Amino acid sequence: MEAFSGFSSPCLKTPGFLRNTRKHGVGIIRASVAVEQQTEKTKVALIRIGTRGSPLALAQAYETRDKLMATHSELAEEGAIQIVIIKTTGDKILSQPLADIGGKGLFTKEIDEALINCEIDIAVHSMKDVPTYLPEKTILPCNLQREDVRDAFISLSAASVADLPAGSTVGTASLRRKSQLLHKYPSLNVLENFRGNVQTRLRKLNEGAVQATLLALAGLKRLNMTENVTSILSTDEMLPAVAQGAIGIACRSNDDKMANYIASLNHEETRLAVASERAFLETLDGSCRTPIAGYAYKDEDGNCIFKGLVASPDGTRVLETSRKGLYAHEDMVMMGKDAGKELLSRAGPGFFGRALMDLLIF
């Protein structure tokens, strides 16, 4: 575990990218959709970017916008790119654990529908929210360069997970984190329905609802909020979610202009890693309530290393596997599929309880 020395305790600090939103326009709510309101004379946008409205989702949309502006001069003009905020099912229902809501694409469905209905031109997603299938009439030809895949430990009272006293409560909405945490530290309690955006979870921590929480380091970096991090868990301590830290950009399958725009932003190493991990998830049928983790990366020799994990929700049983091969699309997809088949075989039919639940759980 890597310590973040000198970092202060969690605080509700405004993310850096939001401090200057006035010059870009202010989001206004209209039913479930909010459109960035232009401060200058209204003009027709060349690209309308669809996104969720959380600070992290907006940070990812702004990152996409900035890369498009830097790459294509016609998009750098004022008003050429518009941000459209869309509220998803996952955003609307916060009182229940994700596993109990049901339905695939909890954080993507409404955005995909807006894309298909031509209300937006491209959709920006956190790849770990994207189901292993894509809706008809859409493609996802671009992954931006991946951020740090590791998980961050945040606490006001302990320097690391190992330092938490027995009986301490850790808040997380992730079955993946819960199972791996309880596997190594069975004396801890986990508050499962610890939901909300990053700011909300940090506020709950500050208010004493839990003694610690775990968050994706990628999100904290994108929000310029790493001062809240107590320490970082290595991937050996906590294997990340499939596609954690990766941003995906989708468009309509018949829109060559948008496909060319976003394909120019693609980071191929990230795209291949995500494809490998999603092949693993798809093989396991990640629609069950079983915690799943997967991580593909390039080693110092340029080869692909893939690590996969499934676990029981209570952490009493964890199955792991790994693969090594060429860092090439066909080889990496096969590695992911093969690893998934192995774990399915080792787990047996009883392991994947409630396997018909139509929900991606990370």
Q: Which helix (H) or strand (E) holds 223?
A: none
Annotated catalytic residue within 91, 121, 129, 148: 129
Q: Which residues have C-beta within 8 Å of that of residue 321, sequence separation ≥ 6? A: 307, 308, 309, 339, 342, 343
d(CA 178, CA 195): 13
Judge whether 35 and 27 are in contact, CB under 8 Å: yes
By CB atoms closer than 10 A (0-12, 13-18, 19+), residue 132 is: middle
Residue 151 among the catalytic residues: no
Spatial neighbors of 316 by CB under 8 A, at least 6 apart, are: 182, 183
> Contact 274/246 with Cβ under 8 angstroms?
yes
Q: HSE of 114 in the Cβ direction (CA atoms, 13 Å)?
A: 27
Tell how strand 26-30 and strand 2-3 pair up: unpaired
Cite the active site residues. Answer: 129
